[in-house]
Structure 1
Amino acid sequence: MKALIVLFFLSSFIAAKESVYTPSSADTKVVTKLTSFSYDGREVPLKIYLPASKKPVPLILLSHGLGGSRKVGAYLGEQWARAGYVVVAMQHVGSDESVWKDVPPLQRKRALTKAASVQTFLARMKDVPATLDQLEKWNVEKNHLLEKRMDMDHIGIGGHSYGAVTTQALAGQQFGPMGPAYLDKRIDAGFAMSPSIPRKGGDAKKAFGKIAIPMLLMTGTKDGNFITKAPPESRRGVFAALPASDKKAKTLHYQLVFKDAEHGAFSDHKLPGEDTRNPNHHRAIKAISTAFWDSALKNNAKASDWLNGKSPTTYLAKGDLWQKK
C-alpha cells in the first residue's frame, strides 16, 4: 500500500513538472536599452531587450496598442529575452502615448478614437519594415550593441489591440482587391492579443484564410472594442477564419480565450474602469507565448509537443478555452 502511495505522488510530481514550460535556453539576466532611428523624416523610438547570450538568436518585434509606447509589454519583453530572443519594442508615433498625455481626462477617449485612423494605420505599416531594415544594418555594424546578436532568418511579431491589428497585417491579412498589401515575408510567426476582424462587415475568411505563417491568438470573454464597438466574441473570428493545418504537418494556429478577461488583461497594468485583474492570466500568457515562439522560430520539437499536448491547459482556469488547428 505504501509503495502505491509513493508511486502515486511520484507520478503526480512528474506530470506537474512536465506541465510547466521552461525554455531550454533560459537566461537569468536581461539587458534593456532605449534608442531610436529615423526614416523618411519619421522617428521610431525603440526599447531593446537582450538576453545574456552573445550568440545570434531569433528576433521578436513588439507593437503596442493605441496610446501605448515602447515601454508597454515589458513583462513579455523580459520573459522572451530570458528565453533566448532579442526583443525590439517599437513606438508608433501618432498612435502612441502622445495622443492622450496632454489631453484633459474627459477628452482622452475621444482623442484615442480619433487617432485610430487610416493615416496612423498606414504609418504603422511602414514602421515595421523600416525597423527590420534598420535592425539588419545594426546586425552587421561593427561595435554596435546589436552586432551579430540577431538571427534575421527567424523573426516573429507580436502585439496587443492596435498592435494585434499591425501583427495581422504584416502576417498576410488580405485587404480586398489589394490582397496581402502589407505582408513582410521576413516575418515567420505572429502573436496577436485582442485581435480584430475586418471593420464594416468585411469577410473574415477572405481576410485571414490565406495566412501561411503560425499564429497565436489570445482574447477574453469581456475583451470589448471601444473603437469599433464590436462585441468581445467578435475577436474570436480571426482564429475561426485562419486556414486549417495540413494533417501531415504540425499544428500552425492556436487560440486562448480567458474567461472574464477584459482588454487590459494583456497589458502591463489594469486599464481605467476595468475590474480586478487575474494574476494567472500573465502567468499563462508568458508560458504559452514562449512555447509558441520556441516552436515556430527555433523549431523546438519539445516546445511543439508541449503546445500540442495537455500541458497548456494546466495553466488555465475553469471556463478558459484553449484551441488549436
Structure 2
Amino acid sequence: MLVGGFAAGVATRTIRPVEAAAEDVRIADLDWVDARRDRWVPARLYWPPPGATAGPIPLIVFSHGLGQSRMGYSHLGRHWAANGFASLHVQHVGSDGSVWAGNPFEILDRVNGAADEREAIARAADMSFALDCILDQGSAFAASIDRARIVAAGHSYGANTTLLVGGARVVRDGRILDRRDTRFKAGIVVSAPPFYGERDLHAVLAAVAMPTFHVTATEDVIALPGRRSPVQDRLDVYEAVGTTRKALAVFQGGSHSIFTDRALTGGVRLNPQVKRATAEGALAFLDLAFRGDPGPLASWSETWRPILAVTPTAYPVAAPSRPPSRRDRPRS
C-alpha cells in the first residue's frame, strides 16, 4: 500500500496493455474528517502509474452503492487509473457496509435510515468535501490534477449521488435543495434508482447540465427490503436528465450487482465482460465529453455490440477547444 508523495506527473510513457499497466497503479487510503459536519469521510485513491498520461491528470470521484465502501469497485478504479485517470472512491459512513451489520431483524430500519433524504444530501456533501481535500493546496496530489476534467461517477445509490452533485434538485417546504458542484464537468451514472418519493422525475433532473453516460442492463432489478425498482426506472432517469449531452448503454442480461466487485452475479462469462466494458465505455464517453471525439465511443459500441441490448449514440459536438488526447493513455 502506497500513501501520499507520488503525485508528480510524467510527460511521456510507453503504451502497454491495461493488464500490465494496472499492476503499477498506486493506491492510497485517505481518512478525512469534515469538522463542520462532524462526519468521517474515508476514501481510496487509485493513482495512474508513472508515464500513464502526459500533463495534468483528470480525476474521477466515485460514489458507492448502498452497503458498499471505499474498498469496492476496484475493477473500475484500477482500470481508470491504468488509463491515466485518477479515481477517488469515497465511502459514505451513513450508508456503507454498516447497513448489513447488527441485528438482522432491524435491517429494514437500517436500510430506511441509509436511504433517508438527509443521508442522500450528506452523500453529495461527502463528494464535494472529498474533492475539497484532494484539491487543497496542502494535498500531495492537487498540483497534478486537471481541474477542467473532474468527473462524478457512481453505482446505484451512488448514481443518485452523482446526479445530485450534477444538479438534480428537489423542493421541500417551498425551498430548493440543491447540492450541485460545478467543479464536476461530467458524470458516469451506473444503475441509477428512481428518486424515491418524487412524483415528477423530470422536475428533479431537468437542471442536470453536465454530460452524462448512463449504464444499465436488461436484468438490472433492485430488490432491497421495502424497495423494488425495475430496469425501466434506469431508463426513465436517462430520459429525464435535462442535458442533451448524454448517452445510454444497456447490456443484455446482467444484474444490478454485476457492476460491483461480485464475481458471479449475472453469469460467470458475462460478469467480467460487463465490468470491463463499463470501465472502457466510461473513458470512451469522456473522450466525447472532453475532446469532442465520438470515435472511441463508436469503436467501443462496435467492440461490445454482442452483449449490448442498447448501443449508445454519440451526441452532436462542436469542435473541441482543447487537445488532450486519449492517445496519451494506454489502451486495452
TM tier relative to shorter chain: 0.7 to 0.9
Cα displacement string for residues 43-81 of structure 1 (whole angstroms, at most 9, x for unaligned residues):
111101111247531111011111110011110111111
Aligned to 2:218: 221
Structure-1-length-normalised TM-score: 0.79
What does 1:1-325 correspond to in 2, within 5 Å? 29-40=24-35, 41-53=38-50, 55-104=55-104, 108=107, 111-137=110-136, 140-141=137-138, 144-176=139-171, 178-179=175-176, 181-200=178-197, 202-227=199-224, 228-243=227-242, 245=244, 252-270=245-263, 274-277=265-268, 278=270, 279-296=272-289, 299-302=290-293, 304-307=294-297, 309=298, 311-317=300-306, 320-324=309-313, 325=315
| C-alpha distance in structure 2 between counterparts of 1:86 and 1:213, whole Å | 20
Cα displacement string for residues 248-288 of structure 1 (whole angstroms, at most 9, x for unaligned residues):
xxxx20111112221111111158xx553513211211211
Report the alpha carbon displacement of residue 216 of structure 1 after superposing the two structures with TM. Answer: 0.5
Change in CA separation of 1:184 and 1:310 when aligned onto 2, cut-off 3 Å: same
Structure-2-length-normalised TM-score: 0.77
Task: Choose 1 or 2 for highest CA Rg.
Answer: 1
- The secondary structure found in structure 1 opposite 2:306 is coil
| C-alpha distance in structure 2 between counterparts of 1:117 and 1:301, whole Å | 38
Change in CA separation of 1:237 and 1:31 when aligned onto 2, cut-off 3 Å: same
Cα displacement string for residues 215-274 of structure 1 (whole angstroms, at most 9, x for unaligned residues):
0111112212224322221211011123463xxxxxx20111112221111111158xx5
Q: Which runs of 4+ in 1 moved over 6 A?
A: none
Change in CA separation of 1:211 and 1:201 when aligned onto 2, cut-off 3 Å: closer
Between the aligned residues of both structures, percent identity stands at 28
| C-alpha distance in structure 1 between counterparts of 2:307 and 2:27, whole Å | 36
Amino acid at match of 1:99: V
Report the alpha carbon displacement of residue 145 of structure 1 after superposing the two structures with TM. Answer: 3.5
Deviates more, 1:51-60 or 1:214-223: 51-60
Decide which structure has greater helix share: 1
Report the alpha carbon displacement of residue 212 of structure 1 after superposing the two structures with TM. Answer: 1.1
Aligned to 1:248: none
Change in CA separation of 1:322 and 1:135 when aligned onto 2, cut-off 3 Å: same
Change in CA separation of 1:284 and 1:244 when aligned onto 2, cut-off 3 Å: same
CA contact (8 A) 1:172 1:180 kept: no
Report the alpha carbon displacement of residue 203 of structure 1 after superposing the two structures with TM. Answer: 1.3
Deviates more, 1:124-133 or 1:158-167: 124-133
Amino acid at match of 1:240: E
Segments of 5+ residues of structure 2 without an aligned counterpart are 1-16, 316-332
Segments of 5+ residues of structure 1 without an aligned counterpart are 1-21, 246-251
Change in CA separation of 1:312 and 1:178 when aligned onto 2, cut-off 3 Å: farther
Change in CA separation of 1:310 and 1:81 when aligned onto 2, cut-off 3 Å: closer
Amino acid at match of 1:255: L
Amino acid at match of 1:197: P
| C-alpha distance in structure 1 between counterparts of 2:129 and 2:59, whole Å | 15
| C-alpha distance in structure 2 between counterparts of 1:243 and 1:118, whole Å | 22
| C-alpha distance in structure 1 between counterparts of 2:86 and 2:300, whole Å | 26
Aligned to 1:5: none
